[in-house]
Amino acid sequence: MKPIPAILLTLAVAVPATWFATQKLHTGGASSAATSGQPAGRKLIYYQSAMHPWIKSEKPGRCTICGMELTPVYEGDSGFDAAGGGDVVPLTQTMIQVVNVQTAEAQVRPLTKTLTVAGMIDDNATRHRVLSAYIPGRVQKLYVNFMGAEVKEGQPLAEFYSPTLLQSEREYRTLTGELRSATALRLLQMGLTSAQIEALPEKPGDKLTSQILSPIGGTVVVQNVYEGQYVQEGERLFEIADFSTMWFQFRAYEQDLPWIKPGLKVDITTPSHPGKTFTGNITFIDPNFDEATRSTKVRVELENPLVDGRRLLLHRLYADGFVQLEAPEVLTVPRTAVIETGPEAVAYVDQGGGAYSRRVLKLGRRGDALVEVASGLSAGDKVVVNGNLLIDGQAEMNRAFAEPATTNAPATALPALTDAQREAVKDFLSLADAIAGALAADKLDDFNTQAAKSHAAMPALMDAFVNSDKAWHPLLKSIEEAGHLEKADDLKAARKTFHPFSNAAVALAQALRRGEKEIGRASCRERV
C-alpha cells in the first residue's frame, strides 16, 4: 500500500482555510518566530504558508497556492493556526516597498500626554481678608484712601474713634490681675491686636483714637469708608487680597481624571503676557463631581511676581494651561499603529516572511504619541505604523471575497473506505502532491504536465465510488468540480486554478485519515 503523500498528510491534519484565510501565529507569549534570520539557539522546524497554513515544507520556498514566501517556524512556536484567530495579509517584498510598510516594537515605557485646558486666574482665597467695624465709631483719619494700594502686614490703615473702645482702654491701664485679663479679652473683641493691647500702658492719655491695622500684606481691593464717616458695627471698611500667589482653576473632564493627581506640573499662558509662561503645581482636586458637565474643578497655585509696582497676573484673568501628564511603565505602541473602526481597535503585527496578522486590542490611556495597550499585544511585537491602513483594506477585501474554506463534506465521520477506494484516493493524492511540488519549485511546465493527468485521474476516482454510501456524494461532487486543471500560461494563473483543487485534496486526505484511524481501531478491537 502506497503511503499518503507527505504534503497532503499535513493537509489532513489542519482545517483548510480559504483563499484569504484568517490566521494567527501563536508563540505562547514569546515573540514571533517568523523572522528573516534564524534566532540564536533555536532550531528551525519547518517552513509554512501564512495564508494557507496546511502548506508546510522542510525547505524554503513559496506557497503552492498563493505564491507567498513560506515563513520559517522555530522550536517553541506552534506556527500559523489553521483554525483561525486573526486575519493574515500576505505582501510581497515589492508590495512592502511600494506601500512603505514600517514597524515599531510594542514596549513597556512611560506614557506621557500634554492636556490643554482653559480656566481663570483667581486670587488665593486663603490670603484674602475683609475688615469690618467691630463696634460703632467714626473714621477719624485714613492712611490708605484709595483702592489698589499695596500695604504690609501690621501697617496702619485708619484712625478710629469710639467712646466705648476708649473707655475699655483706660480701664485696662488701671486694672490688674484677672480684671485686667478680662478687659484685654474685651479689647480683642473690639478689634485691637494683642500687640496693640500690650502697648496701651505707653499710649498718651490725650490720644483718643486707635489704629486699624492691616491683618495681611497685599493689595487693597475694596475701600468703603472716608475720613469723618461714622460706621455701625459689622459695616465693611476694607478688603485686602494677597496677590503674591494666585490660583489657576480649570475643569478636568471624566476621561482625564485617571491622569490627574496633586503635584503635577502645569504651564500657564495668558493673552495679556504673550510669550511668557507661568509654572505651578496642582494643589487640589475637587471631590465633588459635576454630573451636568461630567467634570470637576482642579486648582493650581502660582507665584505672581511684582514688577514695576504691580502684579503680573490679575484677578479673573483668562488663561490656558498645559498639564504634563505621565503614566507609570505600561505597554505602549505608537498611536499610528492603531486603527479604530467603531468600537473595535486593531493593529497589524509583522509575523515575518511578508505576513501581517490582525490583532484586536483593548486600549487604555492615550498619550501624545503613544497609546496604552491593555490586551492584544506583548512586549516585542512588531506592529505596523505606516501602511497599516492599506493592509487593513486588503484584509477587508479578503473577508468580503473569501471562498468557502472546505467542501460540502459533512463534519461527521464518513463511512469506511474499501480497499479499492483507498487506493484510488491515494493515487489522486499522489497526483495532487506532484502538482503542489511543481508549483513549489516554480516550474510551470511541470505543473501543466501533471495537470493534464488530472483529466484521466478524475474518472478513475469517481468509478471507485460509484456504489458508495450517499454520505460521500457532497464530497465527491466538490472534488469533481475542482479536479479538472487546465493548462496555465503563468504561475499566477496556475496557483489560482490549483486553489480549489487543493481544497478538494485536503478534504479527501482528511476523509482518508479518518478512515484509516477507524480501520486501526477495528484491528485493535479484533486483536483484543
CB 22 within 8 Å of CB 84: yes
3-state secondary structure (DSSP) of residue 218: strand
438 contacts: CB under 8 Å, gap ≥ 6? 444, 446, 447, 449, 450
Pick the CATH number of 128-241 from 1.20.1630.10, 3.50.50.60, 2.40.50.100, 3.40.640.10: 2.40.50.100
Give the domain ranges of the chain.
Answer: 88-124+243-401, 128-241, 419-527
φ/ψ bin of 527: left (φ > 0), alpha (ψ from -120 to 50), beta (otherwise): alpha
Number of Cβ within a 10 Å radius of residue 201: 8
The owner of cell 480649570 is 250
Beta pairing class for 156-161 and 137-142: antiparallel
CATH 2.60.40.10 for domain 88-124+243-401: no
CB 51 within 8 Å of CB 66: yes
Q: How far is CA 325 from CA 37, 267, 365, in A?
A: 40, 12, 11
H or E element at residue 47: strand 44-48
H or E element at residue 475: helix 473-482
Question: From first to last of its 528 residues, what are the pLDDT tens digits of the chain?
Answer: 334 344 443 333 333 333 223 333 333 333 333 334 455 566 888 888 766 666 778 888 877 766 677 878 777 665 555 434 346 787 777 778 888 999 999 999 999 999 999 999 999 999 999 999 999 999 999 999 899 898 999 999 999 999 999 999 999 999 889 999 999 999 999 999 999 999 999 999 889 999 999 999 999 999 999 999 999 999 999 999 999 999 999 999 998 998 899 999 999 999 999 999 999 999 999 999 999 999 999 999 999 988 887 889 988 899 999 998 888 899 999 999 999 877 889 999 998 878 898 999 999 999 999 999 999 999 999 999 999 888 887 777 666 544 444 444 444 456 677 777 778 778 888 888 788 778 777 788 888 888 888 777 777 777 777 777 777 777 777 777 766 677 888 887 887 777 777 777 777 776 666 555 544 444 433 333
Q: Do domains 88-124+243-401 and 128-241 have the same CATH topology?
A: no
pLDDT recorded at residue 515: 55
